[in-house]
Structures are given as C-alpha cells and as structure tokens.
Amino acid sequence: MPMYDRQCNRCGVESLDHYEPIETESPVCSCGGRLERFWSGTYFPSVIDDSIPGGLEIRHGLCNENGTPRKYYSHSEIRAEAKRRGLVNYVRHAPQRGSDKSPYTSRWV
C-alpha cells in the first residue's frame, strides 16, 4: 500500500503519512473541505541513498592497480569495480572455537 500526504483544499491543514489504497476517496476535513493528496517532499519510503558520505577507503582487493588504497564514494561504484575485476562480495561465517557465534558476522532478523 502506498503512503500519501493530504492537505485540505479549503483551510490548508496538512495530514502526513497515510497508508491507504490508491483508490481511496478524499476524506472530508473538519472545516468541510476535502483532504486532497499532495506532495510534502519530506518522505521517500522507497529510495535508499547510494552514496557513502566521506567515502570508504579500501586497502585490499579493490585498491588501485599499483596497490595503494582507493576511496569509493558510492556502493554502485564499488559494485562496478568489483564486476570489472571479476570479484564477488562474499562473507563467510567463521565461529569461534567451541561456539557457533562469530564477532564478525550477525544475523539481522
């Protein structure tokens, strides 16, 4: 279900962040006007920023051709370089001896 913002066409009151089907009719405001959909510009629920603020310095694998560290400023830039070099991002679960837990990997549920 998409999210919408609404604004009264008579008094201008705003009501933000409504999850509702697209075919929902405009509700009536307390002033008697209609709460029409409008774009408040404050929320992008489906857009994930690709940039890496300040950059990410990589010292192994995706470094410069001469072996010096290379700084990347977006995730897509890292993926493109890895693809160009034929590398695959891989994380291996390596538990500590006698345990199933690893300080380097986590399960995000």
DSSP secondary structure of the chain: --EEEEEETTT--EEEEEE--TTPPPPBPTTS-BEEEE--S---TT----EEEEEEEE-SSSS-TTS--EEEEEHHHHHHHHHHHT--------PPTTSS--TT-----
Which tens digit of pLDDT belongs to each residue from 62-73? 999 999 999 999
Q: Where are the domains of the chain?
A: 3-38, 51-85
- Higher model confidence: residue 54 or residue 2? 54
Single pTM value for the model = 0.47
Max alpha carbon distance in the chain (Å)?
70
Which tens digit of pLDDT belongs to each residue from 3-49? 788 999 999 999 888 888 888 899 999 999 999 998 777 655 566 78
Calculate what percentage of the chain has a pLDDT beyond 70.
Answer: 87
